[in-house]
Structure 1
């Protein structure tokens, strides 16, 4: 059981483990996703999370998975991942203090790699980067991380894009899911006014957890920060008003801000990052003064879900789903409510439509050369000089601008224009030449629509 055979490739600094013990662990983990957090030096577990129908891992299995990583370090080898059957195991070390391990057979490797980064950033959000880099007491760290667990659970849950029990956004490489509303032209000034009354410049309005509009200051936050802050809304989303101390993983990883979340109407929230003032007891009056005359507009904007595109944008017959991504800003919008399709006795649900589009998108960005060697998106920072920006753009430059899939039940086509990628799910009867024309037209219609801000 403990005999290992290593196949090592010095070029990529990665090796594959052909190991009967890991195969046995994988069989135990099948049909589930497991996330493990350990102290890198001691190997002691910090927490273990799972989603699926399998029981939690025993300590011996956790220790064995960590032992494989520790053994590789002794051999001066960087262990990143191993693939077994249809599954993957990923190890990631952060600052030499925290190790995260992801095991799944439900998702692609780039999914789990991005999820581990999001989970570590979520840990920073609640306990600060310094505390994670140099934990003084492991038991105290475990206790301090408990408020973070609901957010981590939501992140893991969002990997299941076919989950129909929740309306909250699916996980897509740490990107923020948006909703396109013509009403934003009215709501954005109201948001700016409300945010300034709160003594801040960082504010965002979200509908069903999806980004609707943000202040100028909000757009300067990193995609990881915006993604996690909007995920906070889905925790106890029925509360009308709440605040939480948060560390921003890039802007302020060691000095806490205050995230104030207000429910304006059901499933419509505003989140503001501010200081200690104003007091929570004063926020209700500020909300009423800022938003009272916009409640009807908010109700209209809320009706854009689940189509997520304005009603003025009509899709041709044969289009079953659309996913539009802006990979520079790491945001996307997807429609889950287009034409239902029945094939014989097989009915494709809205969740199934999105799951197909999501999987196709993950393969498309690999075809377009938009993933780095760690299978995470090439991110272009917002605040940077032009020379740095051009060098990052050059590293992701690819001559591929279109890609497609064909199957018995459906077709998919993706078109890349500048920083936008438009992925469209079609009925199987739609020919390729027609798909290419429709996809390009859809993207041009969205980009040219002056009533929406994309």
Structure 2
């Protein structure tokens, strides 16, 4: 299963497979293997042992049981696969199933064949969670955003549009990233907001759509009447979705990947093209996009697991570094140096910033560049 991911969904009580989704070079697993993976978890459970994860030389496996009804198993041989990521992936997958078909049918599992048919409606959203993309909200549990210079006028029109649709919830999404949203939309649970944005990004393009899980349920004329006059600002948002913020905010040339998280508002800016699409070929020659994505996700996972652990007990650190006696403070910055890149992370009360640099960037300069970048993105953008 080199470089691939396998996701299995089974009925907990019977072990009957409900679906199997894969990514990369994965091939369909035989039923005997599926049975073995579920069987070892059930055996542990019967012995009062909770089996959550294990790993071989090249594959990591995680198990989760939801509501004593649905068992999810994921196997990944990808370089950036970690327990933190796989655990959040399984949580997101189950929440995606609830989002599309509701909780009752998942908890009160009476007709397996009918449930299998209903679950097909979840496949696009689940596949988007498995696929590598320009989004990182699946890992950070924060909404991927785009900062637009026309945010004020877009916000104003959105408010009028949502009122006309007789709803309190609405957002403007560009390529899966949120540009503006109503106040009550931001009050939704962080995971719900993330999944709604991912769902919209996974659907086929359409000028208007009536979908049972998001508002508004309006007529096709609403979209054109309100948004046609703002065609140019909308085009600007589209041009910005790769970089996630205006080009008028120049970053240091050594930065090849960026993740900025607003911890208070549960949203983030994520880009692998921090200098715009015009310099894409030059950036790719330095560090390919897939490598940049993997590096940044691995660094984020390391930082939040070992140095910036969450206040809640949702994700227990897989790695915790014991500092020497006498240091009573929590770390607020960290960095790594590798053969083909360097990374630096900063945590403040409101933000977290994670940067990937070219390998030739002087290590002593990382902190200065990161500090100035954080100031630029939070004061001049702002975010």
Q: So what's the TM-score if we normalise by structure 1?
A: 0.75
Aligned residue among 41, 50, 53 for 2:25: 53
For 1:347 and 1:438, the matched residues in 2 are separated by: 19
Matches within 5 A, 1:177-188: 177-188=144-155
Change (3 A) 1:428 1:97: same
In structure 1, the partner of 2:324 is none
1:96 maps onto 2:68 in alignment: yes
Provide the C-alpha distance between the structure 2 equivalents of 1:406 and 1:412, rounded to a whole number of angstroms.
7
Comparing 46-55 with 63-72, greater Cα deviation is found at 46-55
User: Does residue 448 of the first structure (1) align with residue 379 of the second (2)?
Assistant: yes
Q: Map residues 121-270 of structure 1 onto 2, 5 A cutoff.
A: 121-157=95-131, 160=132, 171-246=138-213, 259=214
Does 2:40 align with 1:68? yes
| Higher normalized helix content (fraction of residues) | 2
1:361 aligns with 2:300: yes
- Calculate the aligned-residue CA RMSD, in Å: 2.4
Q: Identify the residue that residue 322 of structure 1 maps to in structure 2.
A: 258
Task: List alignment gaps of at least 5 residues for structure 2.
Answer: 318-327
Alignment CA distance shift 1:30-1:426 (3 Å) = closer
Q: Using the alignment, how far apart are the partners of 1:36 and 1:195 within structure 2?
A: 39
Partner of residue 41, structure 1: 13
8 A contact 1:36–1:45 mirrored in 2: yes
Give secondary structure in 2 for the equivalent of 1:425. Answer: strand
In structure 1, list runs of 5 or more residues that go unmatched.
Answer: 1-28, 162-166, 247-258, 260-272, 378-396
Q: Hey, what's the Cα distance between the residues in 1 that align with 2:84 and 2:361?
A: 30
Residues in 2 aligned to 1:174 and 1:136: alpha-carbon distance in whole angstroms: 32
What are the Cα deviations for residues 157-205 of structure 1, in whole angstroms up to 9, with x where unaligned?
A: 1xx35xxxxx666742433211111211110111111111111111111
Distance 1:169 1:427 in 2: 21
Aligned-pair CA distance for 1:208: 1.4
2:233 aligns with one of 297, 315, 327: 297
| Cα distance in 1, alignment partners of residues 202 and 358 from structure 2 | 37
Partner deviation per Cα, 1:47-93 (whole Å, 9 max, x = no partner): 11111223211111111111111111111111111122242111101
Q: Is contact 1:88–1:103 with CA below 8 Å preserved after alignment?
A: yes
Q: Secondary structure at the match of 1:124?
A: helix
**Cα-to-partner distance string for 1:82-125 (whole Å, 9 max, x where unaligned):** 12224211110111111111111211121111111111011101
Match of 2:288 in 1: 349
What is the TM-score normalised by the length of structure 2? 0.88
Q: CA deviation at 1:398?
A: 6.7
